[in-house]
Structure 1
Amino acid sequence: MGIEVDHLVGGYSQVPVLKDVNFQVNDGEVVGLIGLNGAGKSTTINHIIGLLTPQKGRVVVGGTTLSEDPTRYKQQIAYIPELPVLYDELTLAETLSLTMMAYGLEQEATWQRAHRLLKMFRLDNKLDWFPANFSKGMKQKVMIVNAFMTDAKVYIIDEPFLGLDPVAVHDLLTLIEDAKKNGAAILMSTHVLANAEKYCDRFILLHQGQIKVAGTLAQLQAAFPQAGNSLDDIYLSLADGERNE
């Protein structure tokens, strides 16, 4: 049932950042959330994960809203933030255990998934490490393991490639592909447009808090006929248009 953003108006003050944003992310697809800095991408994500309350409209995840069933709503979502968020006083093992308890996951099966992911990202010998011991890229890998071990139905992924080495980027993209094949709905915000173009089924192009255009790459190309064929060309065309406004 994925994600449904239904005529969302919202932001951080009485003056809305988002102005009637309306889209869906279906089960088994990856949708790229694209836009210039300040377009409203993070605000949209913060509404979906429940950090912001809509001024108008609603967000539905897996058939429920946050107000209808907060626990069910949140347990369906795995979130990878742009900047890693870790508890300084918890080891890696304790961090993963806390997530398992928060999601109500069966420990043995989840630890099996976790160990596979830890080995993939070369963290399997660091379970007793604290966040202070990790580099920026390693912290990002911890967030990836923390999210994908949940086997969630919905993934919200915000600028996931920052700080990752090429091997880790490849491994993350493999996990995204696998989650898609298993029926998850995935919303990914990124400025790494080559990856977005290759792995996303559809795109939502935000501009000044509104959806400029949404659809497949072919539909975006039709909407920006003056641009080139790549997503990067379309993005640059949007940037040029903003400078000329």
Structure 2
Amino acid sequence: MNVLEVEIKQAGYTEKKEAINNINFSIKRGEMAGLIGPNGAGKSTIIKAILGLLPEIAGKVQFVGQNRNFAYIPEQPVLYEELTLWEHLELAAAVYGIERNIFLDKGEKLLNIFRLQEVKHHFPATFSKGMQQKVMIVIGLIIEPEIYIIDEPFVGLDPRAIMEFLRFLNEERIRGAGILISTHQLDIAERICDTIILIADGQLVAQGKLDEIRRECHLPGASLFDCFNFILEKQS
């Protein structure tokens, strides 16, 4: 069963209406898909299109799960200066109607795991980029949505935080959540993603399981990095 269906003929900004073209893919329950591409390829534009943030779009994006709810974890954390870390979590719990006892238990657990317990009553606006990213991750995990949309989540995270985050994403996948993750960390994407969506010059140039992409590239046993370079060189 799909939880997200994307069919974009073209989309972009007022000054560039066709930043992306012919982007078609879907995310199933329990599937983790890696959105891969070089800088400027259109990955962030695709995410904005999915979130309904583009002024120009022809096509459709549908959240088709039972509850049609999602969590967005951006590359640049978006936080309220006047709210403490704990108040951010309480706000998310209130918006999504999470029961108080469930929220308290999971909130405390996540803060301990991501080593944020000591600053729970501090203002995240004063945190480092890595700590702010952890706050966004914790908020997303508390929500337990049907689909996660994640943009470059590993920037600024220390190795332990990356390990814990990946562990939680795997648990969420087992729970049945769909996950779309945009990242430049090809080694991580190769290890954790069920499918790969490769974008170049605003277009979808390859998608499928890594073995399928290897066959398309005629590179049996190649790494995602090697396939990535092969496809980009072929496009140029």
TM-score, reference length from structure 1: 0.89
Match of 2:141 among 120, 127, 148: 148
1:157 aligns with one of 128, 150, 162 = 150
Can you list the C-alpha shifts for 1:88-137, whole angstroms capped at 9, x where unaligned? 11110111111122223223212211111111001112111112431111
Indicate the larger mover: 3-12 or 183-192.
3-12
CA contact (8 A) 1:227 1:233 kept: no
Alignment-derived partner of residue 92 in structure 1: 85
Residue 10 of structure 1 aligns to which amino acid in structure 2? A
Counterparts of 2:220 and 2:5, CA distance in 1: 30
Q: How many residues align?
A: 234
Matched residue, 1:136: 129
Name which of structure 1's ranges 105-114 and 145-154 shifts more when overlaid on structure 2.
Answer: 105-114
* Structure 1 match to 2:13: 12
Secondary structure of 2:229 counterpart: helix
Looking at structure 1, the residues matched to 96 and 222 of structure 2 have their Cα atoms a distance apart, in angstroms, of 42
Q: Sequence identity of aligned pairs in percent? A: 43
Aligned twin of 2:47: 45
CA RMSD, Structure 1 to Structure 2 (Å) = 1.9
Quote the residue 1:3 is aligned against: 4
Query: Counterparts of 2:155 and 2:147 in 1: how far apart (Å)?
Result: 21
162 and 154 in structure 1: CA distance in 2 versus 1, 3 angstrom threshold: same
**Structure 1 match to 2:109:** 116
Contact persistence 1:118–1:124 (CA under 8 A): yes
Deviation at 1:8, TM superposition (A): 3.9
- Determine the structure 2 residue equivalent to 1:221: 214
Task: Check whether the contact 1:137–1:164 (CA below 8 A) recurs between aligned residues.
Answer: yes
CA contact (8 A) 1:6 1:57 kept: yes
> SS of the counterpart of 1:89?
coil
Instruction: Verify: 1:202 aligned to 2:204, yes or no.
Output: no
CA contact (8 A) 1:33 1:41 kept: yes
Deviation at 1:156, TM superposition (A): 0.5
CA–CA distance in 2 between the matches of 1:181 and 1:217? 20
CA contact (8 A) 1:78 1:150 kept: yes
Q: 2:58 aligns with which of 50, 56, 61?
A: 56
Report the Cα offset of residue 227 of structure 1: 8.8
Change (3 A) 1:111 1:50: farther
Give the partner amino acid of 2:173.
Answer: K
Instruction: Give the secondary-structure state (helix, strand or coil) at the position aligned to 1:205.
Output: strand
> Aligned with 1:82: secondary structure?
coil
Q: Extract unaligned runs of 5+ from structure 2.
A: none
User: Within the alignment, does 1:182 sit opposite 2:184 as a pair?
Assistant: no
Deviating beyond 4 angstroms after TM superposition, the runs of 4 or more aligned structure 1 residues are: none
Residue 240 of structure 1, CA deviation: 3.4
Unmatched runs of 5 consecutive residues or more in structure 1: 65-71
Task: Using the TM superposition, give the Cα deviation of residue 55 of structure 1 relative to its aligned residue in structure 2, in angstroms.
Answer: 2.2
2:70 maps to which residue?
77
Cα separation, 1, equivalents of 2:130 and 2:88: 17
Q: Which has the higher strand share?
A: 2
Aligned equivalents of 1:221 and 1:33: distance in 2?
A: 17
TM-score with structure 2 length normalisation? 0.93
Q: Secondary structure of the residue that 1:15 maps to in structure 2?
A: strand
Secondary structure of 1:138 counterpart:
helix
- Does the aligned pair in 1 maintain the 2:10–2:17 contact within 8 Å? no
1:173 aligned onto 2:174: no
Q: Distance in 2 between matches of 1:233 and 1:227?
A: 11
